[in-house]
Amino acid sequence: MSRKFSFTVSYSVPVEELHRAITSDELWQARFEGATTATLDLSHDDGPGTIRVHMTETVRPDKIPALVRKVLRNDLVVERTDNWGLLDGDTARGVFTGTSQGITTKMSGTYEMRPAATGSEVVVAGSVSVKVPLVGGAIEPLAEQLQRRVVESEGKFIEKWFADKAGA
């Protein structure tokens, strides 16, 4: 069984600026600078104005919810791949997939970047499935919350990144 989710992250910059930043290596390299438990692989397989961002992270044990720690067989390693397409007018779309090792989790979904009253927003919609007998359904909301926290954290980083660039 899987659990569907949807949420929106707001940005204070126009779509064109946000898309240019999200499809740039510079932003992602800055985001992962100094990350000791994470790896980053960037490519532009579909050409300029697109990006494939593949991230892998070994989650620190103190960041893993107790319910998940009880069923973990070894380290929790989370992988996520984001693919962002070209800006088409004032909208851009992307897809994401995610998996984990240590506990079998699969996540997939879509991104839609679009204008908003105060700048732009990214609508995230997807589903998550956790294959753990008896407690998988209880872990799925935790996986969804993790995806939301990661995307919102990236949003805060991107806002700061823009502010730092404006102040430079």
> In the chain, how many domains are there?
1
Torsion of CA 28, 112, 16, 163, to 10 degrees: -50
Residue 159 has a CB neighbour count (10 Å cut-off) of 16
**Strand, coil or helix: what is 92?**
strand
Q: Mean pLDDT in the chain?
A: 88
Domain of residue 134, CATH code? 3.30.530.20
| Stretch 144-163: mean pLDDT | 85
Residue 7's domain spans which residues?
3-167
**So what's the pLDDT on residue 7?**
94
Size of the chain in residues: 168
Instruction: Record the pTM.
Output: 0.86
User: Is the confidence at residue 134, as pLDDT, over 60?
Assistant: no
The token pair that represents 158 in the structure block: 């991107």
